[in-house]
Structure 1
Amino acid sequence: MAERDQKFRWAPGQGDLLQRLRLYSGLVLFTFALTHFLNHILGVYSVGLMEEVQDWREAVWHSLPGTVLLAGAALTHATLAVMKTARRRTLRLPPWEAIQLLLGLSIPYYLVKHVAATRGIYEVFGVDVTYTQELSILWPGSVAAQSVLLLIVWTHGCIGIHFWLRIRPWYSRAFPYLLSLAVAIPALAMWGWIDAARRLWLLGQNTGYLTQEQFDWVNRTTDIGHAILIVVVATIAGALIAYRLQRSMVKGIQITYPGDLVIRTPPGPTLLEISRMSGIPHASVCGGRARCSTCRTKILKGLDHLEPPDANEVAVLERIGAESDVRLACQIRPSEDMTVRPLLPARSSGRAAARAADAYYWGVEQTVAVMFIDIRGFTTLSEQRLSYDIVYVLNRYFDVMTRAIDGAGGYVDKFIGDGIMAIFGMSSGAKTGARQALEAAVRIDAALAALNEELAASLDAPLAIGIGIHAGPAILGRIGAVGAEHISAHITALGDTVNTASRLESMSKDYGARLVVSEAVLIHAGFDSADIDHTDISVRGRRKSLKASVFVDLSALAHHLQEKGNLSERN
């Protein structure tokens, strides 16, 4: 259930209706561009192959459903982008937003002539433009313009996809591969179409396809398109100028930030825009789309004058368990005096910009298996030994335990006195993580037996440990001195799953057991309910009892894992 809920929350259409429409329409346009660029790449082989694949593309995009989908997506995406830009009250934007905005405004300027000379000619004059004809027109006079158009379209789309996906837990692992594709596809596409056009020209096979009437129509359509674009840009610029004039003439409202910093502004912009206009650092990862909570702000005064949060903001605030006086700065538009305190610090250094791409820096929720290990009777042991001897024993213990955890595919989160916390499934998913945690328990049992043999001469009694494992959703994030030079904070897990795993480890002592593992771990690992006995355990801090399995020794668990093929032969 937790995994299914998590997938739902990260569904592609997260956001309000306009955000989803802008996203979906953008994905349609990006898909069209991607298929076009992949077709360009075939020019490295032959123009004939380009023509064959083009027939398949046209069967989709020139059909009635394809035409309606593509035209609707283009109109929707452009309209919503213009509306969003016109509503801005400042052009002080993060670099990535500014670049995406400029590229988006540049696309129509370069694209209108290309569309008019291809799809426009097809729709108005019934001329089905072939690759040979199109390449003949482009080479050599329009090589630069066409290459610039290709790069602008591709970069604009890639920026949008990157900032849509970067808060997904899997994205950091896939980023190097996706970046390689993002660089390779446009490079190969330009190589393909330019090489094909050059070959046609060298072989004397290039031929135009426009009559004078059609040529004049393309030029007129291009001029009209450029004029419309100029009007749109001028309108947006005029709106910004008018807002600035209004701001200078109207007394406006007063926003008080920490440190008694007072900003006067007319009502209208969001709190995030007010911060940016005034040069006040304000964290925002998703670009003001209410897809993250990094701009969350505590409203110390003026909360009653704000509009209630919409469904999208409510979902984000509920997800982080925010108090009633916390709102998203990107969603509220102050209309009265307010006193605010941003809850997350904003940093503008290059190091911080690099961290912004790290999803774990901001926190990621995913289903993992968490393990706690603790030495039984360590206090008594430490009182009977010299401090240096205890340090030696602990270091040997931590070394062999870490090797066992690493060998099973786990991640050592931290050492807590004589205890260890480990996370499984961060990169492999909950199913594999649960299996890895169980295998780690078996490995730890074997490693402890070997360690006790090694230390038999220096210990009065063998070391005994207790292990607790639980699986469920947890917040994974880099917690610690992430702002200090040369310090990279480790990833840690937070939440009820962690607390429950710790409680299970403590309860292993009450049961005189080596391991207490929750039913959730066994289910994720693929065990049938009949495979292993369960018992209802009352866990401190939980209102309902928890089904768990208690193992006095781990031979039965090792046997089950071997039967299912989950236990490595190296164990």
Structure 2
Amino acid sequence: MATRAKPHSNQDAAAPAWLRRIGVRQVRMFCGLVLFAYLLSHFLNHALGNISAEALHDGVMWHLAVWQFLPVTILFYGSVAIHGGLGLWALYQRRQFRWRTLEPLQLALGLSVPLLIYGHVIAMRLGNVLYDQDRLYPQVLYSYFVAAPPYRAWLMVAVMLIAWTHGCIGLYIWLRIKPAFRRATPWLLAAAVLIPTLALLGFYQGGREVARESASPQWQAANLGPANLGTPQQQVTLDAIGGGFLMVYLGLIGSALLGRGVRAIAERRGGMIRLSYGGDRSIRVRKGLTVLEASLRHNIPHASACGGRARCSTCRIRVLGDPAMLPPPSSREAFVLASIGAGDDPSIRLACQLRPTHDLDFVPVFPPRNVAAARRAARAARIGEERYLVSMFVDMRGSTKLGETRLPFDTVFIVNRFLGAVSRSVIACGGQPNQFVGDGLLALFGLEHSPRDACRNAIRAASMIAAAIDELNSFLGHDLPEPIRFGIGIHGGEVVVGEIGYRDHMVFTALGDSVNVASRLQDMTKTLGCETLLSDELRATAGVADDALPTEQVEIRGRTEPMLVCVVTRSRDLAAALDDSELALA
């Protein structure tokens, strides 16, 4: 028997809970919030330009009073350094990006901001610190709208939009898994559009005002002297500092990219490992990738609500084999696992954090939603069309009793394994898993096949489900007090296919009497003590011989006349009945 590793929670038991929940991403998020607060304050200040130059000046005085207060200044510039450094670290450390998501865009925008704004920051802050230059809105707007070429103003507009977009993406990634986010989305979207619009308009109006007043010699004498703009020698020094910063920053980006290349070569030389997805498929990857990164690199669907940031547990996996061979979880991973009650189980890990160093066999706990398959099924039939389909209801027996003696997490794991085994069998036989209800599912056959083929495919799927559940029982034998049992009800007939629901909760499904009959046949397997009940009408449509399966008259709730059904004690026997019918036809 495999040796159990120490529970996750023991490794950081001495650390307080609030400390164990803090990781690199939490630090970067906090620093980002500080920077976004500064950006918001600056944008609101810009928006005052829509009122008057006096309002703009009064606003910047309040802005400076807050952000140049020493503790706030230390917090701000510390956040700038840490957030920028962690951005470079993310460029180096992240091995796989979801190029269809916002993450690479957010990183590119964030890394571009210092390149676009460093000259403005050096002139404003270092000019004041080193030479006591008094640059405020009149001097800044004059330099952009009067003294400089027009592209400088457009460059400032670009950096404002880039910085705001980068911050909004970060807020979205942080808030999207919060319960109240859906309700707050319209208000947040309105603020995300309205605030930069007002800021840009205020920036433009202030620039127009300065351009008009700058024609006055008195205004120039009051606002463009050496006390405001500095001397040429001071400007040369500031330009040299700016050039040095640019070289260092580009060097850091280049070092991160070079480090990625060196690491890739080293990992390639370090060998490959095999990741096996519970026997469904296996891939070979370089050491150093997280399990989630490996899944993304090989286009294997893997649930991850937070995008691999260790802020949720949807990517978690159950390791098959000896978990003692795995690297220990970080404090952040241990905290997340402990928060869902899995801290004492060393076989449960987060796919976004685990970087295996040896071959690994595992199963994802939560299968990703097969949205694409549902859409293909919806396209296969015209919405609202009436057609012949075969409905199959499959239900797991005893899941309620199972939940009374096991942790909720373990119960969910077993139910998901059951539904996964059933779904694979259905798909292999040309069917489509349609709806998951608790520990059962509805599968449809005939979306792309004739009625006869649909009936035969459903019967074959029932036989394959039995074989798959036998394998699952063998695999989970040490975890289950008794084998998993199931019931299957199958019936075919005319149904209406279409999408039902409300707004963004629409579900493609089938409606009709045959669907209800299949559901009730599945319920009757409990009283008749069999694994599968299928209507004799479906057997005849499938071309199975009359005497191939035992039949019985049963009363179906909601029907006035009894119904002839085939009672199958062992679903595996259905494969033999199909084979016999094929031999008879041959």
- What secondary structure is seen at the aligned counterpart in 2 of 1:335? coil
The answer to whether the 8 A contact 2:302-2:315 is kept is: yes
2:183 is aligned with 1:173: yes
Give the aligned partner of residue 277 of structure 2: 257
1:160 matched to 2:170? The reply is yes
Whether 1:310 and 2:320 are equivalent positions in the alignment is no
Moved more, 65-74 or 179-188: 65-74
1:39-96 CA distances to partner (integer Å, 9 max, x unpaired)? 0000011122111111111122223223212111111111222223322223445521
Alpha-carbon contact 1:25-1:74 (below 8 Å) kept:
yes
Deviation at 1:165, TM superposition (A): 1.5
After superposition, give the CA deviation of every residue in 1:412-451 in whole Å (9 maximum; x if it has no partner): xxxx9xxxxxxxxxxxxxxxxxxxxxxxxxxxxxxxxxxx
- AA aligned to 1:115 is V
- The aligned residue for residue 477 of structure 1 is none
Structure 2 residue 261 is matched with structure 1 residue 241: yes
- Pick from 28, 31, 45 the counterpart of residue 34 of structure 2: 28
Instruction: Kindly state the Cα deviation for residue 216 of structure 1 after the two structures are TM-superposed.
Output: 2.1
Task: Rate the CA distance shift 1:30–1:350 in 2: closer, same or farther, 3 A.
Answer: farther
Q: What is the match of residue 84 of structure 1? A: 90
Are 1:295 and 2:301 an aligned pair? no
Deviation digits for residues 108-153 of structure 1, max 9, x if unmatched? 1012111011112111111121111111111144111101111111
- 3-state SS of the aligned residue for 1:264? strand
**Residue aligning to 1:190:** 200
The aligned residue for residue 199 of structure 1 is 209
Q: Cα distance 1:236–1:280, how it changes in 2: closer, same or farther (>3 A)?
A: farther
Distance 1:57 1:119 in 2: 14
TM-fit CA distance, 1:210: 4.3
Please tell me the residue identity of whatever aligns with 1:339: D
Task: Please point out which of 246, 250, 263 is paired with 1:226.
Answer: 246
Q: Is the 8 A contact 2:21 2:335 kept in 1?
A: no
> What residue identity is the alignment partner of 1:120?
L
Q: Which residue of 1 aligns with 2:124?
A: 118
Aligned AA (1:330):
C
- What is residue 447 of structure 1 aligned with on the other side? none
Q: Which residue of 2 aligns with 1:75?
A: 81
Q: What is the rounded CA distance, in whole Å, between the counterparts of 2:368 and 2:112 in structure 1?
A: 30
The within-5 A match list for 1:33-44 is 33-44=39-50
Contact 2:46–2:202, Cα closer than 8 Å, also in 1 = yes
Q: Which residue of 1 aligns with 2:115?
A: 109
Once the two structures are TM-superposed, the CA of residue 276 in structure 1 deviates from its matched residue by 2.1
1:350, distance to aligned residue in structure 2 (A): 9.1
Q: Is the 8 A contact 1:13 1:20 kept in 2?
A: no
Contact 1:317 1:327 in 2 (8 A): yes
The equivalent residue for 1:16 is 22
Q: 1:317 to 1:246 in 2, by over 3 A?
A: same
Q: Matches of 1:63 and 1:133 in 2, distance apart?
A: 23
Query: 1:474-498 CA distances to partner (integer Å, 9 max, x unpaired)?
Result: xxxxxxxxxx96655599xxxxxxx
Amino acid across the alignment from 2:350:
L
Distance verdict in 2 for CA 1:97–1:239, change over 3 Å: same
Deviation at 1:236, TM superposition (A): 1.6
Amino acid at match of 1:236: A
Instruction: Note if contact 1:93-1:276 (Cα within 8 Å) is conserved in structure 2.
Output: no
- Which of the residues 329, 350, 363 maps onto 2:351? 329
1:519-555 deviation line (CA, Å, top 9, x unaligned): xxxxxxxxxxxxxxxxxxxxxxxxxxxxxxxxxxxxx
Secondary structure class of the residue paired with 1:95:
coil
The 2-side partners of 1:310 and 1:102 are apart by 27
- 1:275 and 2:295 are equivalent in the alignment: yes
Identity within the alignment, %: 36
Judged with a 3 Å threshold, the aligned counterparts in structure 2 of structure 1 residues 55 and 245 are, in CA distance, closer, same or farther, namely same
Find the counterpart in structure 1 of residue 560 from structure 2.
Answer: none
Pick aligned residue for 1:55 from 61, 76, 89: 61
Please state how far the C-alpha of 1:248 moved relative to its aligned partner.
Answer: 3.8
Whole-Å Cα distance in 1 between the matches of residues 335 and 327 of structure 2?
16
Counterparts in 2 of 1:51 and 1:201: CA distance versus 1, 3 Å: same
Amino acid paired to 1:345: P
Q: Deviations over 1:156-178 (max 9, x none)?
A: 11111111122211121111101
> What CA distance in whole angstroms lies between the structure 2 residues aligned with 1:111 and 1:68?
20
How far 1:97 sits from its partner (Å)? 0.7
Contact kept in structure 1, 2:278 and 2:362, CA below 8 Å: yes
Secondary structure of 2:317 counterpart: strand
Residues 169, 305 of structure 1: alpha-carbon distance in 2 compared, 3 angstrom cutoff: same
Matched-pair contact (CA < 8 Å) for 1:15–1:290? no
Match of 2:452 in 1: none
- Residue 264 of structure 1, CA deviation: 2.0
1-side partners of 2:370 and 2:21: how far apart? 27
SS at match of 2:102: helix
Aligned to 1:342: 364
CA distance in 1 between counterparts of 2:18 and 2:374 reads 27
In the superposition, the TM-score normalised over structure 1's length comes to 0.57
Distance between the aligned counterparts of 2:373 and 2:108, measured in 1? 25
- Out of 230, 233, 245, the residue aligned to residue 213 of structure 1 is 233
Q: Equivalents in 2 of 1:19, 1:239: separation in Å?
A: 21
Shift of 1:201: 0.7
The answer to whether structure 1 residue 145 and structure 2 residue 155 are counterparts is yes
Shift of 1:17: 4.0
Q: TM-score, normalised by structure 2?
A: 0.55
Alpha-carbon spacing, 1:242–1:277, altered in 2? closer, same or farther (3 Å): farther
Q: 1:50 to 1:306 in 2, by over 3 A?
A: same
| C-alpha distance in 2 between matches for 1:188 and 1:351 | 44
Distance 1:98 1:14 in 2: 28
Contact 1:29 1:74 in 2 (8 A): yes
